[in-house]
Structure 1
Amino acid sequence: MTDDLLTGPLHDRHLALDATLGEFGGWSMPISYPGGTVAEHTAVRETAGLFDVSHLGTVPISGPGAAAHVNTCLTNDLGRIGPGRAQYTLACTPSGGVIDDMIVYLAGDDDLLLVPNAANSTRIVSMLAEGAPDGVVITDRHRELAVLALQGPRSAEALAAALGAAGPAVADLDYMAFTDIEGGSVRICRTGYTGEHGYEVVLDAAAAPAMWDALLDAVRGVGGVPCGLAARDTLRTEMGYPLHGHELSEEISPVQAGSAWAVGWDKPSFWGREALTAERAAGPARRLRALRATGRGVPRAGMTVLDGPDGAPVGTVTSGTFSPTLRTGVALALIATDPAVAIGDELVIDVRGRALPVEVVKPPMVPSHVR
């Protein structure tokens, strides 16, 4: 672990729990805890898990016309939601590649909060500020706010127990809805990155240790555990959720990545609109596909996908792992659209010179319980 990595407000808590720490987006973050990634993954699928994701950026945007400004920059259409709702959206390059994907919380026309990825937060702030109209204030609070994620089928029960009197109403939020409690200092949203019922909590960094303690006690009370980023990765891969730098990048557009649903195609302007509209009309040269191994082996990012055991290359694995739920290897891969590949087709992944047979499947690869 290098000394120049950033640490979040819960770093001491993770050390006390004997977490295995690793670098993620320039931050020292918990990768797993002593029980192991499979146990953490299983807890989220069966009971509840608590993640520290305070490496994520936090960018309040305020002032007259704040929402209108953001809507001319990011892909999704804020007109689709109202105050008190959150939305998944993308920031794209002029050529249609993805600079970052993020959640935007809309409190009002002049009050938003963006939660971008750690490595891209500063760039997103700079890009939004460059064209902001007078009166729109964009603030980088990356080091001042913490983000926690409570996920799993018993997460509502755990949240209600941790929050006391405020708990039951907050736990009953609709999917992608949020509310502020404790005088507006704590924001809780019904969202997450695991495919399970869950919540994300944004609050002042100074208040994060006490909130972590309360949530972790409640999670353990329903049979859950603290979880690291390794479990977060296996959980999201089972769901087919993209990870920036793997399924989304400046070389991979939302049309290719299956994220076109997060584009407001009828909006007159957003970053990358012309290129994305053209690609959508022509059809992408490759598309993201979910693959499930039918033989023994674990696919990994960067491996080549072939059209048969001795066949020609047709794509590249973007994410690959062992699925603790399915007990087999799973992958996401960018696959050429010519010739077309359909659900149920059989392909092969070159795993260090050995042919691993896989089936093209429809994501999510395990049932989703987010709504």
Structure 2
Amino acid sequence: MTATNGQLRRSPLHARHVEAGAKIADFGGWEMPIEYAGGGVIAEHTAVREAVGVFDVSHLGKATVRGPGAADFVNGCLTADLGKIGPGQAQYTLCCDDPTGGVVDDMIAYLYGPDHVFLVPNAANTAEVVRRLQAAAPSGVDVLDRHEAYGVIAVQGPKSAELLGKLDVPSGHDYMSFVESAVAGAEIVVCRTGYTGEHGYELVIPVEHTVEVWDALLAAGEPLGVRRAGLGARDTLRTEMGYPLHGQDLSLDITPVQGRSAWAVGWDKPAFWGRDVLVAERPAPRRRLTGLKAVGRGIPRAHMQVLAGDTVVGEVTSGTFSPTLKTGIGLALIDTAAGVKAGDEVEVDVRGRRQAMIVTTPPFVPSHVR
């Protein structure tokens, strides 16, 4: 994973994406595939919903926290309660700012045991998450940035287990759990996680073996209709689920309580970063993230105003055309004082024209993750 022009990093699969005719763009400081030639976002999205898609998500961060009491240390920093899972399980959690309660990043924590936690934050925020943990770590606990040591491939869709089975990779473990395995000569970690709402897996692979695993997945998946899928499809898939994207639906200015992520907070824990302000905000946040579904042809996009009558009541944070529903959908932060609820009709200012939207509670399409 090398930097280009001293700035953008490249995935270990970069050459494979170029060979496949991918449209490459900057994403979180990485040159990543947005879509591939021969189908584009809608075809890739549909393959994940109906068959199986493989995503290069090697831009995702990786960090290790190791040493006596590492899990207890992480539990006292991040929001979710690691005490509720055991070794071999994973957990969605957030790193919040103290004292504002804003979200520095959201991530997956892999619990290996009381002395070892593996974290997968977002690309652009890995260094900051690591910096904060390092600054707080007690003597004997080491926090290491392992961003460039591993590649990550997501295998998502109703045929994802069948694809892994063709490579003798275990697939029957529970949602949000992980196992160690091997494929194409590489020792890998197979986690039942994903960002699409479909049954799926994320494979954490030593960087030097990522190409071999990618090639093996594509070859084995050909009879199943496998498709390479880029970050464009990843975005439409996650938006249909109502999954938040950090930097848009969660941020230093958007707390977990506001951003529909309060479920990932261990409210009974005595300590975590941002706890006091989040506990105070929980009963009555000033705004909440909600779903919007277009009545007509309008497509909501980030930063567009949401109106009830002539009053601006919120702002779109994420929006797209849903390939599954064939209509515009989005997420928006709505002022709670406006009294807007699910089923109400609001309008979004789409390039100067008001477009009717129905307030909804995501997901927009059924989830199949469990």
If the TM-score is normalised by the length of the shorter chain, which range does it land in? over 0.9
Q: Is the CA contact (8 Å cut-off) linking 2:186 and 2:209 kept in structure 1?
A: no
- Root-mean-square deviation (Å): 1.3
Q: What is residue 285 of structure 1 aligned with on the other side?
A: 286
Q: What is residue 347 of structure 2 aligned with on the other side?
A: 348
3-state secondary structure, aligned to 2:101: coil
Q: What is residue 92 of structure 2 aligned with on the other side?
A: 88
Matched ranges for 1:150-299 at <5 A: 150-161=155-166, 163-164=167-168, 167=169, 170-182=170-182, 185-281=187-283, 283-299=284-300
Q: Find the partner of 2:65 among 47, 61, 64.
A: 61
Shift of 1:219: 2.8
Q: Counterpart of 2:66 in structure 1: which amino acid?
A: S
Counterparts of 1:73 and 1:132 in 2: how far apart (Å)?
Answer: 10
Shift of 1:203: 1.2
Q: What is residue 303 of structure 2 aligned with on the other side?
A: 302
Q: Deviations over 1:163-210 (max 9, x none)?
A: 23xx2xx11111001001239931000010000000000010001000
Q: Deviations over 1:109-147 (max 9, x none)?
A: 111100000001011111101111111111111111111
Confirm or deny that 1:42 pairs with 2:46.
yes
Q: What are structure 1's unaligned runs of at least 5 residues?
A: none
Q: Is the CA contact (8 Å cut-off) linking 2:188 and 2:205 kept in structure 1?
A: yes
Q: Counterpart of 1:114 in structure 2: which amino acid?
A: L
Shift of 1:342: 1.3
Counterparts of 2:4 and 2:358 in 1: how far apart (Å)?
Answer: 41
Shift of 1:303: 0.3
Counterparts of 2:221 and 2:84 in 1: how far apart (Å)?
Answer: 34
Q: Is the CA contact (8 Å cut-off) linking 1:50 and 1:219 kept in structure 2?
A: no
Counterparts of 1:229 and 1:11 in 2: how far apart (Å)?
Answer: 14
Counterparts of 1:184 and 1:86 in 2: how far apart (Å)?
Answer: 22
Q: Find the partner of 2:133 among 128, 137, 140.
A: 128
3-state secondary structure, aligned to 1:55: coil
Q: Deviations over 1:26-46 (max 9, x none)?
A: 000000001200000000000
3-state secondary structure, aligned to 1:338: helix
Confirm or deny that 1:338 pairs with 2:337.
yes
Q: What is residue 78 of structure 2 aligned with on the other side?
A: 74
3-state secondary structure, aligned to 1:128: helix
Counterparts of 2:361 and 2:81 in 1: how far apart (Å)?
Answer: 26
Shift of 1:96: 0.7
Shift of 1:78: 0.2
Counterparts of 1:187 and 1:78 in 2: how far apart (Å)?
Answer: 19
Counterparts of 2:47 and 2:82 in 1: how far apart (Å)?
Answer: 34
Q: Is the CA contact (8 Å cut-off) linking 1:158 and 1:221 kept in structure 2?
A: no
Counterparts of 1:351 and 1:219 in 2: how far apart (Å)?
Answer: 40
3-state secondary structure, aligned to 1:221: helix
TM-score, with length taken from structure 1: 0.96
Which moves more between the two structures, 175-184 or 338-347? Answer: 175-184
Q: What are structure 2's unaligned runs of at least 5 residues?
A: none
Q: Counterpart of 1:255 in structure 2: which amino acid?
A: V
Shift of 1:2: 7.1
Q: Is the CA contact (8 Å cut-off) linking 2:313 and 2:335 kept in structure 1?
A: yes
Q: Counterpart of 1:171 in structure 2: which amino acid?
A: S
Q: 1:113 to 1:23 in 2, by over 3 A?
A: same
Shift of 1:355: 1.1
TM-score, with length taken from structure 2: 0.96
Q: Counterpart of 1:172 in structure 2: which amino acid?
A: G
Shift of 1:273: 0.4
Q: 1:84 to 1:213 in 2, by over 3 A?
A: same
3-state secondary structure, aligned to 2:197: coil
Q: Counterpart of 2:235 in structure 1: which amino acid?
A: D
Shift of 1:296: 1.1
Equivalent residue pairs, number: 363
